[in-house]
Amino acid sequence: MKIFIKSILIIPFLIVTFSCTDSKPNILIILADDAGYSDFGFMGSDEIKTPNLDKLASDGVTFNNAYVSASVCSPSRAGLLTGMYQQRFGHECNLDSDVNNSFDPNQITIAEALKTKGYRTGLIGKWHLGDKKQNHPLNNGFDYFWGFISGARNYFYNPSEESRNSIRNVVENNSPTKFDGYLTDVLGDKAVDFIEKNHQSNSPFFLFLSFNAPHTPMQAKKEVLEKFKDNPRKVYASMMWSMDEAIGSVINELKENGQYNNTIIYFLSDNGATSSKSSSSPFPFKGWKGNQYEGGIKTPMIMTWKNKIKPNTQFNGFISSLDIFKTSLEVSNVDKSSMKNADGKNIMISLNNKTIENEDLFWRKDKMATVRSGNYKLIRLNDTSTVLYNIKKNYYEDLDLKTKESNIHDSLFKKLSNWEMSLIKPNWIENKNWNIVTEMIYQDLMSNKEIRAFSPKDIKK
């Protein structure tokens, strides 16, 4: 497998100036689920084929220092849709089946904000922000929903496996529905349908295309598996190929109906690769989904906007998934009151800056918290145990500088503590057994030791 880390170019002026008289751009967010950082052609992989995403990347900017706000699915999505550190409204940990809390419906979502400017809004795919009535996508700014409420489901429809009123069932708006074929393909088709119908109405749209690929269960189409039969990660490679094909269909629809030039498209993953026992890969980083090492929180990210963003560009400034909210609202001239609580920034302004300012970024999940400030990153476990890394010099995070650079350590520790003063306690925490494993993983990663357990079933009783 040939994978490389691309050389980084700072492009001081990327964007063609645009006026507020331009028609409102369509907004399309495409989210992968648990994808590995380098598991894309545009990120250097020869093993995982993503030709449509590669083409999309060449048409815009690839962010080489992009992060999500959480290392697991549900809080990451809560941050993405609100532009806020989700810990500020208690959505800090992943949802579990026995959790009584879920997404706070009092928060303004990007869909709700864009609707104030006449946008037609749609969600196709995975939700994972709660199954109560007040949490439903239709009650949080979306005009149309086709997908499933839970965090995962099978990729093939089997009537005998569909449970009554299960949050894993596929629904259209509020009604249970069926589908034929492979779910990833169907999600692409539903997105194409949404775009076509919206084009006929001649109004701007916001579409959140939220794939569950390549999240487990590991299921792929037979004909695609045959194509990748010699690939050492053939099921994963097949799932990624199908997602890429679905994205290609959506992009082709935008081009065929003349909407591509006036559509802002973001692509990213909700968190990093799953553990080293799975097929996704965090290469070249340490860590994975569930922890705040680079492999768990860093994401490949693309942004395109024809004639507004210079094509085939690399950008090295810090970018957060939280930035998508404010960027989309400001370019759509949404009233600033909708952005008063936003923690992100307008990416368009950042791209135009000749001097790249790498702001502080923060993470917290129960006992684990992290701050990245410039080249340095501090990770804390249980309020006491800490490590300090210089990410620029040591991106693999195995050289602890806590003692050698104590002043920087103390400064970052204070920044992290001050940030936490703006948060509330988590509304829920994750499964007790998983918390035990997560703490063990942190201890091993921080000590550069062999990982003792990847899941609760690895713990010897």
Q: Which residues are catalytic?
A: 73, 128
User: Can you name the residues that pair with 389 across neighbouring β-strands?
Assistant: 377
Alpha-carbon torsion 238, 243, 246, 250, what sign?
negative
Q: How far apart are CA 377 and CA 397, in angstroms?
A: 9
Taking the CB of residue 164, how many other CB atoms lie within 10 A of it? Answer: 6
Quote the CA–CA distance of 406 and 206 in Å, as a whole number: 47
What is the full DSSP assignment across 105-170? TTSPPHHHHHHTTT-EEEEEEE--S--SGGGSGGGTT-SEEEEESSS---SB--GGG--TT-TTS-
Closest Cα to residue 105, out of 74, 82, 76, 85?
Answer: 82
Confirm if 313 and 68 have CB atoms less than 8 A apart: no
Q: Dig out the tokens for 64 from the structure.
A: 């080489």
- Which of 150, 198, 188, 211 has the alpha carbon at shortest distance from 26? 198
> Could you identify the residue written with the tokens 């980083």?
285
Neighbours of 228 (CB within 10 A): 21
Enter the tokens of residue 453: 């357990």
The end-to-end CA distance of the chain, in Å, is 38
Confirm if 58 and 351 have CB atoms less than 8 A apart.
Answer: no
Neighbour order of strands in the sheet with 120-126: 175-176, 171-172, 144-148, 120-126, 205-210, 26-32, 263-269, 301-304, 61-63, 313-315
